[in-house]
């Protein structure tokens, strides 16, 4: 039997509404979210999202949407994000945001990429409305580095 291990949690507070917690799940790579409307006294059932990538970070944007940033650890390797306009009930995967897609460490076979050496993004919304996402990255070889991307949010 396969067990779902919730790993590397991140929690976001939506003021006056609820706490929303997201977790990495290595079993299938899909993000899970859990919510509490009573400040953590009780929690709703775990929801498997359509978001594939890990680990995740949540950010409540000034316009009320939720942004989930995550490492994308398959080809094309990189960092991605998606938005929810309904407080995390659904995620707009049709308009997934590709922040970066040039990562991954090559194997001895030049056509095969095997490293999952990237991710752990953290996003903040800047005063002008753009988003700054910082992450660690490895475009090849053994030299990881911290990088960041400033990008524009899509409008509703």
Give the side-chain half-sphere CA count within 13 A for 64. Answer: 6
Task: Please tell me the predicted confidence (pLDDT) of residue 75.
Answer: 81
Q: How many CB atoms lie within 10 A of CB 64?
A: 13
Q: Give one DSSP letter per residue of 46-114, joined into a string.
A: PEEEEEE-SSEEEEE-TTS-EEEEEEE-SSSPEEEEEEESSTTSS--GGG-EEEE-----B-SSTT-B-
Asked whether residue 103 is assigned to any structural domain, the reply reads yes
**Total number of domains in the chain:** 1
Task: Please tell me the predicted confidence (pLDDT) of residue 121.
Answer: 95
Asked whether residue 91 is assigned to any structural domain, the reply reads yes
- From first to last of the 156 residues of the chain, give the pLDDT tens digit: 566 778 888 999 988 889 999 998 878 889 999 999 999 999 999 999 999 998 999 999 999 999 999 999 888 889 999 999 998 999 999 999 999 988 876 555 555 545 567 889 999 999 999 999 999 887 766 678 899 999 999 986
- The domain that contains 112 carries what CATH number? 2.120.10.10
Sign of CA dihedral 142, 146, 150, 154: positive
Residues 6, 62: Cα–Cα separation, whole Å:
28
Asked whether residue 63 is assigned to any structural domain, the reply reads yes
Q: Are 33 and 21 a contacting pair, CB within 8 Å?
A: yes
Task: Please tell me the predicted confidence (pLDDT) of residue 3.
Answer: 67
Residues 90, 43: Cα–Cα separation, whole Å:
18
Asked whether residue 52 is assigned to any structural domain, the reply reads yes
Asked whether residue 156 is assigned to any structural domain, the reply reads no
Asked whether residue 1 is assigned to any structural domain, the reply reads no
- Listed in sequence order, the residues at least 6 apart from 56 whose beta carbon sits closer than 8 Å to its beta carbon are 10, 22, 23, 24, 31, 68, 69, 70
The residue behind tokens 């938005």 is: 83
Asked whether residue 46 is assigned to any structural domain, the reply reads yes
Against a cut of 0.85, is the pTM above it? Answer: yes
Domain with 47, as residue range(s), is 7-151
């Amino acid at each position: 039997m396969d067990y779902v291990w919730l790993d590397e949690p991140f929690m976001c507070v939506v003021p006056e509404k609820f706490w929303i917690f997201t977790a990495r799940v290595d079993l299938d790579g899909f993000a899970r979210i859990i919510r509490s409307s009573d400040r953590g006294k009780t929690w709703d059932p775990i929801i498997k999202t359509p978001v594939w990538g890990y680990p995740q970070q949540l950010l409540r944007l000034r316009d009320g949407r939720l942004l989930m940033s995550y490492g994308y650890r398959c080809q094309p390797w990189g960092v991605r994000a998606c938005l929810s306009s309904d407080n995390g009930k659904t995620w707009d995967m049709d308009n997934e945001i590709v922040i970066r897609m040039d990562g991954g460490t090559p194997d001895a076979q030049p056509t095969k990429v095997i490293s999952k050496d990237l991710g752990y993004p953290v996003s903040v919304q800047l005063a002008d409305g753009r988003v700054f996402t910082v992450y660690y990255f490895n475009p090849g070889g053994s030299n990881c580095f911290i990088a960041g991307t400033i990008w524009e949010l899509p409008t509703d």
